[in-house]
Structure 1
Amino acid sequence: MAETTGISWCDRTWSPWFGCTKVSIACDGCYAENLMDLRYGKVTWGPHGERVRSSAAYWRNPRKWDREAAAAGRRFTVFPSLCDPFDNRADPAIRAEWFALMRETPHLVWLLLTKRPQNIVAMCEAAGGLPENAALGATCENQEIANRNVRHLLDAARDLYPVFTFVSAEPLLGPIDFTKIIYGTAGDYLVVRDALKASDIERIGWVITGGETDQGKHRARPTATTWLRQIRDACAAAGVPYHHKQNGEWQGGITAVRSEAGQFALHWPHDPGRWAYFDYAPRMFDRFGIDACATRVGKKASGRLLDGVEHNGFPASPADHPL
């Protein structure tokens, strides 16, 4: 909501309205809900809460940033962090006004990340079409959600021609193979596509990963290092930019021995989505190895490094090019 942001993959954050409804397990620890509802009390989250339009003064910020980007000779990226652009309960008139604002700010690239990619095409058409400076993204926290959301995202990209497409696998709560996205069935067979190596229009153009952080009473769930490596390596093989935002509250391997409840977690390889929690370092950790266990060390201590490397990939887009 400010001039700068702590989010490593964008330049600014700005939202036309505040409020949303949880639609998947990725929403369990929603930071926007914790910030705007539970801490500030500015909006009621959930299906019965209203979507509150941001102030007129706040709506002037993107035009100011557009002028600053023009003066800087590069395009700024803007992410609506406190709403879902394609929320069913949002006022279509506000969305249309927002899309008009996007068209009036050509030196900004708008990162439209949604957990509802099935709504993209219809809602863009109702708002006068997707602005030329908008990128389309979908959240995918595990393989099941990726199979659904990637298909809707790339179908929308084929119809709307965004600046680029992207996926946010944050919080990453299970393994995802973006090279084997299930698109449907053909008779008795599954239709599987490599979403990283398809044509430019029908492939993922950027992947972001991240571990979960604590939000209010919600305690973060671990992300297995092997899940992150799989996505990183698949992106590298396909030439897709990869950005790892954070490891979250947990870090792979045993880094400390404390008696704090829930300090250690063991990932069971036979059940990719299941973790067992311990108050001490069990001997089984030695058997399963560093890739199968995690220690709760806190977001600051876990940092952003994956195997000692900071990954800051961004897509080739107008945001990377001088004006």
Structure 2
Amino acid sequence: MQCASLELRRTRPRVFCASLADVFDTDVDPAWRRDLFDLIELTPNLIWLLLTKRIGNAFRELSRARSHDWLMGRDNVWLGATVVNQAEAERDIPKLLQVPARVRFLSMEPLLGPVQLDRLQISDERELDVLRGRTGSTAQHFVFRPKTGDRVDWVIAGGESGPGARPMHPTWPRMLRDQCAAAGVPFLYKQWGEWTDEDWGEHAGYQDTAGVLPSGEFELMSKGYSPPFDQHERLMAGNVRLDGRMLMDRVGKKNAGRLLDGRTHDGFPEER
């Protein structure tokens, strides 16, 4: 019984805070933020996941409510930033790494483009590998200098859902999965969203073959046709073209599921 009790204590319940709000929005009443931090301090038995689309405000608002290094003293707070494409990654991930949190993560949902986390182009002379905490440059002076070991500890990715959902190219989550695996960073794949990469030819009555190009993009061939397909063929297939090469089927969030190449990915960082 004692062993079972110790085992249960190894993993604390995780609380995703303010899924329909943003803790670091400038319109948030500072008193609410102070109350939240009081509650976090009173609940060391819980792990709080603070996700923000406004990571640039985090350092300032933390300093106002507590101190800029308050998170370093809290092993029950994981700080995350929402990033959906390469431009946002290069703009916002350095801001995330400047906040001295014990665990940092990315929510890349909806994923709207390919992202190289191991090669962020911060300037003409500088690249940042945020999965390993390494920087490379020949310049002598940088705006941002990460401490040794500063990195992203967890990556969450997924497609968009809802009436106006945009499709996600299958190459994009695969790139993130492979980058995380190579760097030893936990990867969580939440969903395809409304769209999936099922063979559109099955619905259109064609026999298709898919070939992977050297660039990593996909090309579909059908009875001698090659992209772009005409509007009638796309309507018959019930799909849309994506990136001029991959055709995606809108099958709904439930049917699309969350299998990536036949398996689930439920990686979580270890508690520190």
> What's the TM-score once normalised by structure 1's chain length?
0.63
Contact 1:163 / 1:317 at 8 angstroms: preserved in 2?
A: no
Contact 1:150 / 1:181 at 8 angstroms: preserved in 2?
A: no
Give the corresponding residue for 1:15. none
Give the corresponding residue for 2:249. 295
Contact 2:187 / 2:265 at 8 angstroms: preserved in 1?
A: yes
Code of the residue aligned with 2:256 in structure 1: it is S
1:296-322 residue CA offsets vs partner (Å, 9 max, x unmatched): 01011110100001000000114xxxx
Higher relative contact order (CA 8 A, sep 6+): 1
1:114 to 48, 52, 58: 52
1:14-29 correspondence runs (5 A): none
- Rounded to whole Å, the distance in 2 between the matches of 1:210 and 1:107 is 29
Of stretches 74-83 and 102-111 in structure 1, the one that deviates more from structure 2 is: 74-83
Q: Secondary structure at the match of 1:246?
A: coil
Contact 1:154 / 1:201 at 8 angstroms: preserved in 2?
A: no
Give the corresponding residue for 2:157. 209
Contact 1:154 / 1:203 at 8 angstroms: preserved in 2?
A: yes
Contact 2:171 / 2:216 at 8 angstroms: preserved in 1?
A: no
2:80 to 137, 147, 166: 137
1:231-266 residue CA offsets vs partner (Å, 9 max, x unmatched): 0000000000000001100001325527xxxxxxxx
- Distance change >3 Å, CA 252–CA 205, structure 1 → 2: same
Q: How many residues align?
A: 221
Which structure has the bigger radius of gyration? 2
Give the corresponding residue for 2:142. none
Superposition misfits of 4+ residues, deviation over 2 angstroms: 69-74, 253-258, 275-278
For residue 270 of structure 1, report the CA deviation from its aligned partner.
11
1:244-259 correspondence runs (5 A): 244-254=189-199, 257=203
Give the corresponding residue for 1:147. 90
1:227-266 correspondence runs (5 A): 227-254=172-199, 257=203
1:189-243 residue CA offsets vs partner (Å, 9 max, x unmatched): 33211111116741110000000000xxx41000110001100000000000000
* 1:190 and 2:125 aligned: yes
1:1-323 correspondence runs (5 A): 72-73=8-9, 74-80=11-17, 81-129=19-67, 130-131=70-71, 132=74, 133-156=76-99, 160=100, 162-183=101-122, 185=123, 189-198=124-133, 201-214=149-162, 218-254=163-199, 257=203, 278-281=234-237, 292-318=246-272
Code of the residue aligned with 2:51 in structure 1: it is L
Q: Secondary structure at the match of 1:197?
A: coil
Code of the residue aligned with 2:48 in structure 1: it is W
- Rounded to whole Å, the distance in 2 between the matches of 1:152 and 1:253 is 38
Code of the residue aligned with 2:164 in structure 1: it is R
- Rounded to whole Å, the distance in 2 between the matches of 1:147 and 1:253 is 32
- Rounded to whole Å, the distance in 2 between the matches of 1:173 and 1:280 is 25
1:162-189 residue CA offsets vs partner (Å, 9 max, x unmatched): 2310001100011111011122x3xxx3
Q: Secondary structure at the match of 2:87?
A: helix
Q: Secondary structure at the match of 1:84?
A: coil
Q: Secondary structure at the match of 2:152?
A: coil
- Distance change >3 Å, CA 79–CA 139, structure 1 → 2: same
1:137-173 residue CA offsets vs partner (Å, 9 max, x unmatched): 10110101111111110111xxx2x231000110001
Q: Secondary structure at the match of 1:166?
A: strand
Q: Secondary structure at the match of 2:49?
A: strand
Code of the residue aligned with 2:262 in structure 1: it is G
1:5-62 residue CA offsets vs partner (Å, 9 max, x unmatched): xxxxxxxxxxxxxxxxxxxxxxxxxxxxxxxxxxxxxxxxxxxxxxxxxxxxxxxxxx
Code of the residue aligned with 1:243 in structure 2: it is L
- Rounded to whole Å, the distance in 2 between the matches of 1:196 and 1:120 is 21
Of stretches 168-177 and 196-205 in structure 1, the one that deviates more from structure 2 is: 196-205
